[in-house]
Structure 1
Amino acid sequence: MAGPLSLLRLRRGISLVGLITALCGGAVFAIWYGMNSDRDYIHPVLTHLIPAGHCACQTSTTFQCSSCLTCAKDAAPDQSTDPAWKFEYPRDARDEALSHAKCQASFPGLFEDVQRGAKHWRSHGGIATEDLDAIKIEQGMARAFITHGDLHVVTARSKGEDHRRKILGVLGSIHRALAADPGRASRRDIEFVFSVEDKVDDVTNPHNPVWVFSRIPSEEGVWLIPDFSFWAWDNPNNQLGPYDQVVDRVKRLDIPWSEKKPQLVWRGKPSFAPKLRRALIEAARDKPWADVKQVDWSTGANVLKMEDHCHYMFIAHVEGRSYSASLKYRQACNSVIVAHKLQFIQHHHYLLVASGPNQNYLEVERDFSDLGEKIEPLISDTEAARRIANNSVKTFRERYLTPAAEACYWRSLFDGYSGVWNSTVDSWSESKQTERGLRYESFVLLESPKMFEFDATTAPQGTA
């Protein structure tokens, strides 16, 4: 029989275990709350304790290239360019049929990631059909091929409407670039896999030759493509439409620089990337130069139309779960984009310039610790800010984000990829005695449910 002293020790031990369990449970709940809450304010201790959130991003990307915007003048001449050609806005902005030579002359620096991808795969012996066969097609991915200049869909998997629409957006952009291609009939056949997920590691190994919307520097096997919203962005929370239509709307509704509010604007959900976004909220809290607020899509609280962002001199850009497709919409405004050091690279990011005469955005630290010291001089000297905003418009809205630039990028990708594609493309399946792929024109006519788990060799074809 246990003595009184032993019972006392046992009770104390049980109480201590209970206390530790309660403290650990409370800490876990507090961190969970900090990561998932969209309240305007949570205690700074929680902001400090929570991890990087849904994207574990502690590092950033420093862009270094041989022919991007600031160093194009120092690069060796490209023999494929047209020396007599000069891109003019708005004359050429919607010309999706520019020749290869005119594309190269019009958009130096835009094709950096294509060249990087081609160099990487050339050093690895190129890409073969077997490499694609080894890639598991997860939800949010598709496999397709181009033969005789026509696009065919082999396999597509979607988890609901969001995936389906994004896959259609990518396919639509590819088809548009092909339809306008002056050399379409003689284009070499290629086969490829692409993903519409936010991050590479959501669906595949970064060493696979998958076409993706964004990557981090270590993901060298993938190839960057323009994201789905260049075609159109439409979901229950927003109906923005095609990107060039948004730009037209923004230009029509923008206001003169002198009438813009000398403030930094941002609207978003903190829980999408709590470490980053709460750092912005806290850095801007109670500052006279800041209009930074969280949104509530269910009630519409603090929601601001895209074109209304343009009424501010400064627009903050923050990455979300990975890349944020909203950057190009903010770049449609004649305003200064204020962005933290980015981790994820998109196809046009090589044209971002953080300093010097061609500066086209304001870069701050990832924790926004230097936001005040960077933005306050520009609040005081709005002409300096205006020069940055004008550079942004000239670089992105009026050149590198035009329909012409997008089409040129796609065809450059086709060229770069075909240069390391070591296989032929079979358009016919001997084993199943049917076409391996469904033409894009037919694919877009399918009922939505038939696109969710699509396989061309099992879909009925050729029947009347």
Structure 2
Amino acid sequence: MIAPSDSSPACQKGPEDYSLPFSREMTANHYNFPLIRSRRGRGLSLLCVIACLSCSLILAIWYGMNSDRDYIHPVLTQLIPAGHCACQTSTTFQCSTCLSCPEPSISQPSSPSGLQQSWKWDYPRDAPNEALEHSQCQAAFPGLFEDIARGQRHWLSNGRIASEDLDAIHLQQGMVRASITRGYLHVMAARAKNEDHRRKILGVLGSIHRALAADRDRASRRDIEFVFSVEDKVEDVTSPDRPVWVFARTPLEQGVWLMPDFSFWAWDNPNNYIGPFDQVVDRIQQLDIPWDNKKPQLVWRGKPSFAPKLRRALIEAARDKPWGDVKQVEWSTGANVLKMEDHCHYMFIAHVEGRSYSASLKYRQACNSVIVAHKLQYIQHHHYLLVASGPNQNYVEVERDFSDLSEKIEPLVRDTEAARRIAQNSARTFRERYLTPAAEACYWRSLFDGYGNVWNSSGVAPWAEKRTKSQGLRYESFILLESSHMYEFRADAFHSGSG
């Protein structure tokens, strides 16, 4: 029995002082009051404990996702949700069109001597040539245009693309509406959130203009109108069934078209200067060292918080391994920062996706080193040439949680000749062919052609209510605008004097 408290009437009077004897009901009610209060107190205490534990768990997960410290407890790593890497799907590429086929050659017009000439890809001669003819592009880069062919098939089976489809796309910040008219690039609308957006937009426009300027047949090129985005993910700006040109897509995002990312033109922002991609490749080749002088280790530098689930899995898989040189970067102090070309001094370079795709893959492929990448979720335009096994293997693929990293790396550390073959395949495939300025220009023109084949325009001036508005501002004039005018640009308002 629970004793009554000092403040209860029973402490002031005994039961015999009441004029009526205690009934069973009165006794039960009397003694249940403190019991109810006790149960309520325990319930509130339990709720407080649950709330504290929940808050602690939320704070711990937030810390794990946003911290760039080298070490957090493995249990916390397991609790981190997928976050930016919103699913565990991935795509493995095995291009069938094809790295294993005999290298094709094509006939060129007769020489002055009257002899027919044959043309084959020659890296030193042709890599910087942005003016290769269509037949040369097809012969030099089999497999590079796979995603363009996929986009054509998708839109041929979905009614082609018309101006009305572009009208239905709400231009978000980081998007541009443009056209190619009589071989010239025009900008009709552009939206940029900040200076980083503006620079990326200019990078894409510059690449398009460069590919057009080198086109011998630009005057006869079909007019097209298009929308592109410089955001990392399709879902940041539009739905995946819209015909938007993007840097990367997932396998399920079928409506969009892949284009080369902005950094092929140049990567430059206030906190990071890398420069034009081909300039970086030249610097890497000049500073690279012989294979036998490379460190037989796996190198990676980056911010874990960009993709904590993936990147912390890599950090933990390589921790305390003699072959591991995997570290987080402290940009505020400069700790662990490694120049792009210094990555090439290692035999193995890890690649991890970030918020979506990671533009750094092509810089790593510029090294004569083995690229080690988890199964990729995002597709870029040159990913179809990634080969994970066989005689043409050009990278090492591991699981997304890096659970098999050791079993994939350690045999190659012991047999560096096997690793050398993979590295050489990578350099020949990407650095010396599919990531050259010539390949980029060929891809852009193939994109113009493939998109043009499903562009169902009525042939009147693009982007116009009742088709009366301007075709847009020529690229050459657009890049001369003040930066502030590029953030929210509309050609129709500009030409009316209010832009």
TM range (shorter): over 0.9
2: CA distance, partners of 1:441 / 1:141: 19
Deviations 1:108-136 (A, max 9, x none): 00000000000110011110000000000
- Percent of residue pairs bearing the same amino acid type: 76
Selected match of 2:208 from 174, 189, 192: 174
Post-superposition Cα deviations, 1:84-105, rounded to whole Å, max 9, x if no partner, equal 3210011000110000000000
Alignment correspondent of 1:380: 414
Give the AA of the match of 1:122: L
Give the letter for the 1:24 counterpart. Answer: S
Q: What SS does the corresponding residue of 1:154 show, helix, strand or coil?
A: strand
State how 1:274-289 maps to structure 2 within 5 Å.
274-289=308-323
| Aligned equivalent of 1:37 | 67
After the TM superposition, which segments of 4 or more aligned residues of structure 1 sit over 6 Å from their partners? 77-83, 430-433
Verify the 8 A CA contact 1:81 1:102 in the aligned structure 2: no
Query: Residues 444 and 425 of structure 1: is their aligned pair in 2 closer, same or farther, counting only changes over 3 Å?
Result: farther
Which secondary structure state, in structure 1, belongs to the residue aligned with residue 127 of structure 2? coil
Equivalent residue, structure 2, for 1:263: 297
Q: Name the residue aligned to 1:23.
A: 53
The whole-number CA distance in structure 1 between the counterparts of 2:228 and 2:384 is 21
Identify which range, 371-380 or 432-441, moves more after superposition: 432-441
SS of residue in 1 equivalent to 2:36: helix
- 2:123 aligns to what? 89
Instruction: Label 1:53 to 1:428 Cα distance change in 2 as closer, same or farther (>3 A).
Output: closer
Instruction: Work out the CA distance in 1 between the residues paired with 2:336 and 2:460.
Output: 51
Cα offsets for 1:286-314 (capped at 9, x unmatched): 00001000001111110000000011010
Indicate if the aligned counterparts of 2:225 and 2:462 stay in contact, CA closer than 8 A.
no
Instruction: Report whether the alignment pairs 1:189 with 2:189.
Output: no
1:78–1:140 CA distance, 2 compared to 1 (3 A):
farther
Tell me the alpha carbon deviations over residues 439-462 of structure 1, each in whole angstroms, 9 at most, x when there is no partner.
000000011110001100001479
Structure 1: state its 5+ residue gaps.
none
In 1, Cα distance between equivalents of 2:271 and 2:85:
22
Counterpart residue identity of residue 470, structure 2: E
SS of the equivalent of 2:239 reads coil
Q: For residues 122 and 81 of structure 1, do their structure 2 counterparts lie closer, same or farther at Cα, with a shift above 3 Å needed?
A: farther
- CA deviations 1:28-82 (Å, max 9, x no partner) are 1111111111111111111111111222131111225441434x569xx999999
Distance 2:182 2:206 in 1: 17
Q: Distance in 1 between matches of 2:489 and 2:145?
A: 32
Aligned 1:410-429 pairs, distance under 5 A: 410-423=444-457, 424-426=459-461
Counterpart CA distance in 1 for 2:307 and 2:118 is: 47
Kindly report which structure 2 residues correspond to 1:38-53, keeping only aligned pairs within 5 A, or say none. 38-53=68-83
Query: Among 222, 239, 248, which residue is 2:273 paired with?
Result: 239
> In structure 2, which of residues 25, 33, 37 is the aligned counterpart of residue 7 of structure 1?
37
What residue is the counterpart of 1:294 in the other structure? 328
Matched residues in 1 for 2:344 and 2:490: separation? Answer: 44
Q: In the alignment, is the contact (CA less than 8 A) between 2:178 and 2:185 conserved in 1?
A: yes
Q: Verify: 1:218 aligned to 2:252, yes or no.
A: yes
Provide Cα deviations, 1:368-410, integer angstroms capped at 9, x if missing partner: 1111111111111111111111111100000000000000000
Report how many residues are paired: 460
Q: Distance in 2 between matches of 1:430 and 1:59?
A: 42
Partner residue of 2:485 out of 427, 435, 450:
450
1:430 is displaced (CA, Å) by: 7.8
Classify 1:352/1:312 alpha carbon distance in 2 versus 1 (closer, same or farther; 3 Å).
same
Match of 2:471 in 1: 436
Partner of residue 141, structure 1: 175
Question: What is the CA–CA distance in structure 2 between the aligned matches of 1:430 and 1:452, rounded to whole Å?
Answer: 23
SS in 2 for 1:419: helix
Q: Residues of 2 paired with 1:322 and 1:296: CA distance?
A: 21
1:428/1:275 CA distance change after superposition, 3 Å: closer
Paired AA for residue 331 in structure 1: Q
State whether structure 2 residue 93 is matched by structure 1 residue 63. Answer: yes
Deviations 1:289-343 (CA, angstroms, capped at 9, x unpaired)? 0100000111111000000001101000000000000000001111111101111
The 8 Å contact of residues 333 and 393 in structure 1, kept in 2 or not, is answered as yes
Check the 8 A contact 2:106/2:139 in 1, yes or no.
no
- Kept after mapping to 2: 8 A contact 1:147/1:188: yes
Q: Contact (CA 8 Å) 2:198, 2:487: kept in 1 or not?
A: yes
Which residues of structure 2 form unaligned runs of 5+? 1-29, 110-116
Distance across 1 between alignment mates of 2:144 and 2:173 = 30
| 2:185–2:475 Cα contact (<8 Å) kept | yes
Pairing 1:319–2:353 present: yes
- Structure-1-length-normalised TM-score: 0.95
- Equivalent position to 2:394, from 353, 357, 360: 360
Higher Cα Rg: structure 1 or 2? 2
Q: Say whether residues 1:132 and 2:166 are aligned partners.
A: yes
C-alpha distance in structure 1 between counterparts of 2:369 and 2:94, whole Å: 25
Instruction: Quote the offset at 1:416 in angstroms.
Output: 0.3
Per-residue CA distance 1:196-245 (angstroms, 9 max, x = gap): 00000010000000000000111000000000000000123321100000
CA shift in 2, pair 1:367/1:427, >3 Å: closer
CA RMSD of aligned residues (A): 2.1
Q: Secondary structure at the match of 1:25?
A: helix
CA separation of 1:247/1:425 partners in 2, compared to 1, >3 Å: closer, same or farther? farther
More moved, 182-191 vs 79-88: 79-88
Specify the alignment match of 2:190 in structure 1. Answer: 156
Q: Corresponding residue for 1:123?
A: 157
User: C-alpha displacement at 1:425, in angstroms?
Assistant: 4.8
The one-character-per-residue Cα deviations of 1:163-214 (angstroms, maximum 9, x if unpaired) are 1000100000000000000110000000000000000001000000000000
